[in-house]
Amino acid sequence: MTVSYTLKVAEARFGGFSSLLLRWRGSIYKLLYKEFLLFAALYASLSVTYRLLLTQEQRHVYAQVARYCNRSAELIPLSFVLGFYVTLVVNRWWSQYTSIPLPDQLMCVISASVHGQDQRGRLLRRTLIRYANLASVLVLRSVSTRVLKRFPTMEHVVDAGFMSQEERKKFESLKSDFNKYWVPCVWFTNLAAQARREGRVRDDIALCLLLEELNKYRGKCSMLFHYDWISIPLVYTQVVTIAVYSFFGLSLVGLQSVEPEAGAANSPELLEPGPAVGDLDMYVPLTTLLQFFFYAGWLKVAEQIINPFGEDDDDFETNQLIDRNLQVSLLSVDDMYQNLPPAEKDPYWDEDQPQPPYTVATAAESLRPSFLGSTFNLRMSDEPELSLQVEASPAAARPAPAAQTPLLGRLLGARAPSPAISLRNFGRARGAPWTPHLLRFRAEEGGDPEIAARIEEEGSQSGDEALEP
């Protein structure tokens, strides 16, 4: 059963998480205590062997090996590799939960779309939602050990009421080498089409909505099956496991308290990996055990949730989900169909600003002002000049032309006019001749002042005569 402690952490208080450390079920202690005791026993045995059973020469060789292992352990990027892997596993774990098919949306659409209070209408609604639940049971049997133990054979599925004997014969007569969890969804579509022909589904829009919700439901069944099929690449899991085991294998030897090298008194850096001169010499140091507890516990977290459809303490309660889905779906399409309470006026019928009452424990919340926006209480300047509204000049918003060489300017000046320039030529109708005024305006807008000056000079000599384009 899933371990839930949400209520315990509803409020942040002193020692809030500390109260969770004493729990056993679903805890890291239950997951890790065997490996932890093994590591401590191996470490202590090596420590006793070094101190009591080895000769002076053997101790010297062992100290050299310990220093080598300590330097080698530091080369393993354990935090990076393990952290990235656990993040990937946690994201996958939550995505698998959101892929579990729930019939809540589908049952509401069935109750609203499939009509009839007679025996036939009731049979259609119950059969449609039963097919949906059957599909989820079949796919959960394929991915969850708990569900498979509950329904080891199709006969158990029939006895549970998810499938009739005739439906079982139809199901088993379909020859396929692949998983057939999708068969009840096909039965659903055919039965929905039959209900449409009978007039139980009154229009094609309702039928379309019904099939859309079924496709979403079937899509979750398919996604759940593919999560079970496609695992995290094995090589990544192997790399992380080897990295953790190698690190602590080297730490068993490398973090032992050994005698310092000759000349270590003058060179403090040669005192590794044992304790410095004057430090407490422990057979099994606490910091080493904490390091094992953190890193190995991290790996155990990934091991537990990489497949949440097993029988661990924090795995998904798939059997309870099956019971819940069947109960609420049948209740919604059968007992609740057209079973409405009478419509009455609410207590705030004549009130413009309804205000629900508060209890004494929550009365202080009613005194808080409502949030109107982060800038609502921003104090603006009191100077009237800064509050005046001005109209933006179109010329000021026009970008300045970029610096161009004469040759490049002539080439670019010959480009086609932009739509904004064309719209400004309101003085010339389609097919009308160009006047020097309009040509001068076009030249100025095109960014060629030389052409504009020539047009203005010619226009002053010839008046405002029309020029053919």
Domain map (residue ranges) of the chain: 25-98+232-260+283-318, 102-229
Using CA atoms, how far apart are residues 152 and 159, in angstroms rounded to an integer? 12
* pLDDT for 376 beyond 60: yes
- Grade residue 382 by pLDDT with cuts at 50, 70 and 90: low
> What are 324-335's pLDDT values in tens digits?
999 999 999 999
Average confidence (pLDDT) over 231-239: 94
Using CA atoms, how far apart are residues 250 and 458, in angstroms rounded to an integer? 94
The two three-digit tokens of residue 345, written as one number: 């006026």
- What pLDDT is attached to residue 196? 96
Query: Average model confidence (pLDDT) for the chain?
Result: 83
Average confidence (pLDDT) over 196-222: 96
Helix, strand and coil in the chain, % to nearest 5: 60, 0, 40
**Minimal CA–CA distance to 70: which of 261, 301, 302?**
261
Average confidence (pLDDT) over 143-148: 96
- What pLDDT is attached to residue 464? 46
Rg (CA), the chain: 39
Instruction: Provide the 10 A C-beta neighbour count for residue 65.
Output: 13
65-74, 96-105, 334-343, 415-424 — which is least confidently predicted? Answer: 415-424
CB-based contact 64:178 (threshold 8 Å): no
In this structure, which long-range contacts are made by residues 87-92, counting pairs with CB atoms below 8 Å and at least 24 apart in sequence?
Answer: 88/232, 88/236, 89/232, 89/301, 89/302, 89/305, 89/306, 90/305, 92/227, 92/232, 92/306
CB-based contact 256:48 (threshold 8 Å): no
- Grade residue 170 by pLDDT with cuts at 50, 70 and 90: very high
> What are 393-437's pLDDT values in tens digits?
555 555 555 544 554 455 455 444 444 444 444 444 445 555 555
* pLDDT for 317 beyond 70: yes
- What pLDDT is attached to residue 437? 53
* pLDDT for 465 beyond 50: no
Helices (H) and strands (E) in the chain, counts: 18, 0
Share of the chain above pLDDT 70, in %: 76
48-57, 280-289, 414-423 — which is least confidently predicted? Answer: 414-423
- What pLDDT is attached to residue 177? 92
* pLDDT for 452 beyond 60: no
* pLDDT for 271 beyond 70: no
- Grade residue 449 by pLDDT with cuts at 50, 70 and 90: low
* pLDDT for 318 beyond 80: yes
The per-residue b/e assignment along 184-199, b for 16 or more CB within 10 angstroms, e otherwise, is bbebbbebbeebbeee
In this structure, which long-range contacts are made by residues 103-107, counting pairs with CB atoms below 8 Å and at least 24 apart in sequence?
Answer: 103/129, 103/132, 103/133, 103/136, 103/217, 103/325, 103/328, 103/329, 104/328, 104/329, 105/213, 105/216, 105/217, 106/132, 106/213, 106/214, 106/216, 106/217, 106/329, 107/132, 107/328, 107/329, 107/332, 107/333
**Minimal CA–CA distance to 146: which of 327, 315, 396, 389?**
315
Q: Is 460 exposed, middle or buried (0-12, 13-18, 19+ CB in 10 A)?
A: exposed
